[in-house]
């Protein structure tokens, strides 16, 4: 989440009154976390809360119905996630300040900034439940941030990427070469709709540290379920000093496998998939650090974190080292 498009309270109040027929606005707060879209937390005078999202940057307008439909489908299957709110004309989204925009329900709970093993178990459970729930959803969206997309992004940032950290250009080039040679055949791995961004700030927990909901489906796409798992291991199983925590990885993977066991092909592919997942976030973070809008209410995330994670993965040869 972030804020690129600044809206006055009066604009938001008029929007929810005229387009949604809701109660008067009491409070609107821009949300600075994240990097992709403009987000506002809205609280109405009747106590209801919503999130207003304006889709920016990597989100194409034609993909918005896919994201909103996916959230409806997952909620119908029992996964706690935000639900799009229909406008008075029946549409789930429209234009705000010239950008596609939607209003979704507010989920209770909070994300955790300090993660223990119980949180990793919750994340593994939630991801497995999500993968089980996507069956039957008719929408399809290709993953624009897979191997070919990484190469294109690298070509854009290559002239400047060593400004972030000396040697980063050479490291990325070497890793792209490795992944081009070793990336697994997707036909051999079970595929479906994946979240593709299940970071700790996208999972909410209640006061008893039970998962209360999953948010931010705006990278969701068709890809290998094991790749989604690799993204989640990267996001949840490293410490603040970026040291890998095998105990957390074992707990997360075991929780996931209780609902969805891994095939032999998925287990064998995991060491390459976690490398690819680390490179994907290294690239997008480097891009956003180099090209972010100075005037936007947004905090670019540190790509160097994923340099350190990638170096660890490069030393791994077997999935057993991740705790399986």
pLDDT of residue 193 exceeding 90: yes
Higher-confidence residue of 98 and 105: namely 105
Whether residue 268 contacts residue 189, with contact meaning beta carbons closer than 8 Å, is answered with no
Q: Determine if residue 80 is left, alpha or beta; phi over 0 gives left, psi from -120 to 50 gives alpha, anything else beta.
A: beta
The pLDDT value given to residue 187: 83
- DSSP line for 11-31: HHHHHHHHTS--PPEEEEEE-
pLDDT (tens digit, 9 = 90+) per residue, 147-182? Answer: 999 999 999 999 999 999 999 999 999 999 999 999
The pLDDT value given to residue 126: 98
**Residue 110 bridge partners (DSSP):** 205
The pLDDT value given to residue 317: 86
Cα–Cα distance between 279 and 258 in angstroms, integer?
28
pLDDT (tens digit, 9 = 90+) per residue, 247-267? Answer: 999 999 999 999 999 999 999
Geometric angle at alpha carbon 205, from 67 and 251, rounded to 5° = 95
Cα–Cα distance between 285 and 16 in angstroms, integer?
33
pLDDT (tens digit, 9 = 90+) per residue, 109-138? Answer: 999 999 999 999 999 999 999 999 999 999
DSSP state of 244: B
- Quick one: 117-322 is in which CATH superfamily? Aminoglycoside phosphotransferase (APH), C-terminal lobe (3.90.1200.10)
Which of 161, 182, 179 has the alpha carbon at shortest distance from 282? 161
245 CB-side CA count, 13 A: 18
Terminal Cα-to-Cα distance of the chain (whole angstroms): 33
Q: Out of 15-29, 137-151, 177-191, 293-307, which region has the weakest mean confidence (pLDDT)? A: 293-307
Geometric angle at alpha carbon 1, from 151 and 214, rounded to 5° = 95
Which tokens in the block code for residue 212?
């209360």
Q: Return the axis-axis angle of helices 64-76 and 117-133, rounded to nearest 10°.
A: 100
Higher-confidence residue of 177 and 34: namely 177
| Mean pLDDT score across all residues of the chain | 94
Contacts of 240 (CB under 8 A, 6+ apart): none
Cα–Cα distance between 39 and 1 in angstroms, integer?
6
- Quick one: 9-105 is in which CATH superfamily? Phosphorylase Kinase; domain 1 (3.30.200.20)
Whether residue 23 contacts residue 319, with contact meaning beta carbons closer than 8 Å, is answered with no
The pLDDT value given to residue 324: 87
Which tokens in the block code for residue 281?
């976030």
Higher-confidence residue of 56 and 52: namely 52
pLDDT (tens digit, 9 = 90+) per residue, 282-318? Answer: 999 999 999 976 655 567 789 999 999 999 999 998 9
In the chain, residues under CATH classification 3.90.1200.10 are 117-322
Residues 190-196 have a mean pLDDT of 98
In the chain, residues under CATH classification 3.30.200.20 are 9-105
Whether residue 124 contacts residue 255, with contact meaning beta carbons closer than 8 Å, is answered with yes
Geometric angle at alpha carbon 193, from 192 and 198, rounded to 5° = 125
């Amino acid at each position: 989440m972030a804020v690129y498009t600044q809206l006055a309270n009066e604009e938001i109040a008029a929007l929810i009154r005229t387009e949604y027929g809701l109660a008067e606005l009491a409070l609107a707060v821009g949300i600075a976390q994240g990097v992709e879209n403009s987000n506002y937390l809205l609280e109405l005078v009747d106590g209801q809360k919503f999130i207003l999202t304006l889709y920016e940057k990597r989100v194409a307008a034609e993909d918005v119905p896919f994201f909103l439909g996916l959230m409806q489908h997952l909620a119908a299957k029992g996964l706690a996630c935000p639900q799009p709110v229909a406008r008075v004309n029946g549409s789930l989204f429209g234009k705000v300040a010239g950008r596609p925009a939607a209003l979704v329900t507010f989920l209770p709970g909070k994300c955790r900034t300090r993660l223990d093993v119980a949180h990793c178990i919750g994340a593994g459970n939630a991801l497995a439940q999500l993968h089980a729930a996507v069956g039957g959803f008719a929408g399809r969206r290709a993953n624009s941030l897979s191997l070919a997309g990484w190469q294109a992004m690298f070509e854009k940032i290559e002239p400047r990427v060593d400004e972030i950290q000396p040697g980063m250009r050479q490291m990325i080039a070497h890793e792209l070469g490795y992944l081009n040679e070793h990336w697994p055949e997707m036909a051999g791995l079970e595929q479906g709709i994946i979240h593709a961004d299940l970071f700790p700030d996208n999972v909410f927990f209640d006061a008893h540290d039970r998962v209360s909901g999953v948010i931010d489906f705006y990278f969701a796409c068709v890809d290998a379920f094991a790749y989604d798992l690799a993204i989640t291991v990267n996001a949840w199983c490293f410490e603040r000093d970026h040291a890998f925590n095998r105990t957390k990885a074992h707990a997360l993977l075991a929780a996931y496998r209780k609902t969805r066991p891994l095939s032999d092909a998925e287990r064998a592919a995991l060491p390459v998939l976690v490398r690819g997942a680390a490179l994907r976030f290294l690239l997008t973070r480097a891009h956003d650090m180099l090209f972010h809008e100075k005037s936007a209410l947004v905090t670019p995330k540190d790509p160097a974190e994923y340099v350190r994670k990638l170096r660890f993965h490069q030393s791994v040869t077997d999935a057993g080292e991740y705790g399986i």
